[in-house]
Chains A and B, each alone.
Chain A
Amino acid sequence: MSAIAELQNLSKNNGRKVPPKDNKAAHIFLIPWTIGLFLITLGPMAMSLYLAFTDYNLLQAPSFSGFENIERMLDDQRLHNSLRVTFTYVLIGVPLQLAVALAVAILLDRGMRGLSFYRSIFYLPSMLGSSVAIAVLWKQIFGTTGLVNQLLELVGIQGIGWISDPNTSLGSLILLNVWTFGSPMVIFLAGLRQVPMMYYEAASIDGASKWRQFLSITLPMISPIIFFNLVLQIIGAFQNFTQAFIVSNGSGGPADSTMFFTLYLYQQGFKQFDMGYASAMAWLLVLIVGAFTAVNFFVSKYWVFYDD
């Protein structure tokens, strides 16, 4: 079961009468994890929740400021813009990436020639994609005199500076996200292999077209995997940082067009050292990501099909 199916299952109660027997051993095996949970995860979470209601610059002790940070977020035009940029990136970039991943996975039939070669080529970019080096490459490719415009010139088109034009800069980053479709593709491939061949055989005997088979067999059978990819990629896309930082030299420009929420948070927290405001922003991000995930789980009841 995927991590997500596990979470869905946990909510089902299977009553237990027998007392647990391995308490002592479990405590020992879980020592590092428990320390980590409290010291590295839950403790800092609680701390940042407190800091969200303070004014804190690292030098003086945090001073309680009530709802000031929240009011400031409500008025902060740059923050609203960064949310707009991030939502655009997530809502266009993720479905586009998953659609490409699924389409390519379907093209890569079981046992076809060159399968592992194709898979390697398509998978590689997703392993490299989060590197600074790839962002550097992207910056050049989509620059005014970059590779894309050199190629366009060959067919007589005068390209623009894709990264330096605020209308297209975010688009180039969305394209970069699509370029890394390899890891969801690998998950789709594994899922497609689990659909029993006999379903397709039976359907073709009944005269169902390939398209019809895709809609009535493939899609419902792999819907849990689409759901899994969707949830994970959305959570990941909300946290993207490196590429926007590198192509804009950390500014989120031009004209704040690549100012991801995480980039703005970094600027507030680690450039202005406005730790209170950054904490409030971080909690807003958690709430947004949590809300997206919750909606996803809720809606999944209507379209995700579980075999068992």
Chain B
Amino acid sequence: MRSLLKHALLILGAGVMIYPLLWMVASSFRPNDLIFREAGLVISQVDWNNYPSGWNALSEPFSKYLMNSAILVLGCILGNLVSCSMAAYAFARLDFKFKKIMFALMLMTIMLPIHVIIVPQYIMFSQIGWVNTFWPIIVPKLLATDGFFIFLMIQFIRGIPKDMDEAARIDGAGHPRIFLQIILPLMVPALATTAIFTFIWTWSDFFTSLIYLTNPSNYTVQVALNAFIDSTGESNWGALFAMSIVTLVPVFLAFLFGQKYLVKGIATTGIK
């Protein structure tokens, strides 16, 4: 009885949580006037037009923005994987001067509001002509500025037995080889977590893209969606919903296939 009540409660909660999303999917197939009249999920009159009309609503087809977002995401994933794993190896396995203070600085950058660096960064990048390129967003990732991922990887490397390194060292391997041939292959789960989180966060990022990408041909999907709201106002909800779904699908897929790593990653940085 108790357990039945609990399941009823959980199903109700899950339903309330997920209903808006399902309704948005349903509404993206509805003609505009019906969106405001049908609160249910049954589509009485299917309108396929929302997708093509949204796809071509801006100066470039939506595929362009998807491509821009994809390039940006790939660059950021690559940057984070390489730079954060190198830094993590140093913090987890090496003994060096000022380690403590550097480690503390690294942890504090996780908590630093981005706003305090965005203005000078913008000035700096605009002076070297990088506004309206992807570099202002990718280059910081190449320079290991995402402390969250360094920390996640440090936690993971600490869990790898040190015997492995020692054995390799006795065989004459230096740190670069230990890192590349022993640690990296063993930390694939942490790398996967980093890749998936970077994917979702970069794909969803709006603030930095809004600031750096002002030319329509450089828009990411998020900025494009915002431009779409500006251009049509609230007159074309169907098409707006359709393109919203298009921008959410990649995140949803990343969540679906990467959930194991997301749960593990977030739990280990929080707990152990």
Contact = CB atoms under 8 A, between A and B. Distances in A.
A262 B120 contact: no
Contact of B252 (A128, A130, A225): A128
B120 A44 contact: yes
A245 B14 contact: no
A186 B14 CA distance: 15
Interface residues of B, number: 102
A285 B115 contact: yes
Q: How large is the interface on A (under 10, 10 to 19, 20 to 34, 35 or more residues)?
A: 35 or more
A102 interface: no
A33 B119 contact: no
Given A120-B259, A133-B245, A7 B104 contact: yes
B160 interface: no
Contacts of B99: 20, 26
Interface in A121-160: 121-125, 127-128, 130-134, 136-137, 140-141, 143, 145-147, 150-151, 154
B18 to A, nearest CB: 6
B113 A132 contact: no
A45 B119 CA distance: 9
A238 B272 contact: no
Contacts of A36: 83, 140, 143-145
Contacts of A270: 122, 211
A136 B97 contact: no
A25 B104 CA distance: 20
Nearest to B270: A187
A25 B175 contact: yes
B261 interface: no
- The CB with the most chain B CB atoms within 10 A, among A33, A194, A282, A285, is that of A33
B142 A32 contact: yes
7 contacts: A29-B89, A29-B179, A125-B18, A131-B222, A137-B244, A238-B113, A275-B119
